[in-house]
């Protein structure tokens, strides 16, 4: 793995993205055949997270990939309050335990690892590999590939239709831009990982709303876009351009 990384960081990042997407889809299918959602996927994600974390720390790349504190105080990022608002979206209509105890446990474990893996892969490996040549392009590619990668939900049996998948892609692209700017300005991936993990994991406790699904999706989507869009504008304007 180290030899490939030294030869081409971009190739290394792309291979990790491909392996993550393909193996996660296969693991989800196996989990369904077992009858407990995310049971196989959780084991896969824990293994991939450990492999990536140990490899990064062993090679002294922790600071490069944001395994450190932020260089800036939390106040410069509005104390990450907009991210907390977005993460709470799953609980806006109450909470429940639709997956039961085993399913919820595996789901939470899997989603926490997803937060780690996707941040390290997209915001860490891919962004840092491209940043050396063109930082602006690196920001755009990191955010877009992260967002467009969610199109796989149309084909992996997750049950998402075209409209909900499209909304998820737009949401993920906006999140991608926000998180890559937080990483770029602060130098720490920890806030991004924490938000991503909590945001994903809380989905296990989402209660079914009495509101019309289409109306609910439109209202929630609009609010999320306003919050994320406003936060993104703040992050772009709040830091000097020479930092790019």
* Chain segment 138-190, per-residue pLDDT in tens: 999 999 998 887 666 555 545 456 667 777 888 889 999 999 999 999 999 99
Let me know: does 113 contact 48? Beta carbons within 8 Å: yes
Cα 191 from Cα 100, distance rounded (Å): 29
Q: Which of 35, 58, 31, 65 is nearest to 45 (CA)?
A: 31
Cα dihedral value 120, 88, 77, 122, nearest 10:
20
CA atoms within 13 A on the CB side of 182: 33
Residue percentage of the chain with pLDDT more than 70: 91
Q: Is 104 exposed, middle or buried (0-12, 13-18, 19+ CB in 10 A)?
A: middle
Give Cα 65 distance to the centre of its chain: 15
SS3 177: helix
Segments making up each domain of the chain, as ranges: 2-243
Q: Which of 185, 111, 165, 175 is nearest to 142 (CA)?
A: 175
SS3 62: coil
CA distances from 76 to 65, 81, 152, 185, 239 (A): 21, 11, 35, 10, 9
> Torsions phi, psi of 70, nearest 5?
-70, 145
SS3 194: helix
What is the pTM assigned to this prediction? 0.92
pLDDT in tens, 72-119: 999 999 999 999 999 998 898 889 988 899 999 999 999 999 999 999
Let me know: does 217 contact 164? Beta carbons within 8 Å: yes
Report the mean per-residue pLDDT for the chain: 90
């Amino acid at each position: 793995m180290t030899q490939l990384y030294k030869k081409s960081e971009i190739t290394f990042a792309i291979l990790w993205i491909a392996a993550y997407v393909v193996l996660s889809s296969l693991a989800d299918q196996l989990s369904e055949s077992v009858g407990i959602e995310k049971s196989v996927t959780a084991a896969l994600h824990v293994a991939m997270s450990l492999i990536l974390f140990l490899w990064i720390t062993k090679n002294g790349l922790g600071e490069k990939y944001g395994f450190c504190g932020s260089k800036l105080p939390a106040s410069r990022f509005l104390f990450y309050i907009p991210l907390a608002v977005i993460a709470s979206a799953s609980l806006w209509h109450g909470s429940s335990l639709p997956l039961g105890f085993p399913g919820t446990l595996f789901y939470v474990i899997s989603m926490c690892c997803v937060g780690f893996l996707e941040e390290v892969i997209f915001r860490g490996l891919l962004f840092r590999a491209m940043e050396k040549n063109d930082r602006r392009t690196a920001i755009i590619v990191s955010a877009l590939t992260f967002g467009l990668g969610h199109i796989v939900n149309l084909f992996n049996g997750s049950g998402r239709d075209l409209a909900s998948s499209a909304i998820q892609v737009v949401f993920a692209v906006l999140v991608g831009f926000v998180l890559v700017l937080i990483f770029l300005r602060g130098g720490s991936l920890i806030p991004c990982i924490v938000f991503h993990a909590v945001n994903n994991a809380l989905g296990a406790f989402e209660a079914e709303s009495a509101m019309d699904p289409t109306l609910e999706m439109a209202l929630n989507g609009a609010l999320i876009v306003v919050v994320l869009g406003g936060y993104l504008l703040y992050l772009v304007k709040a830091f000097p351009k020479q930092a790019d």
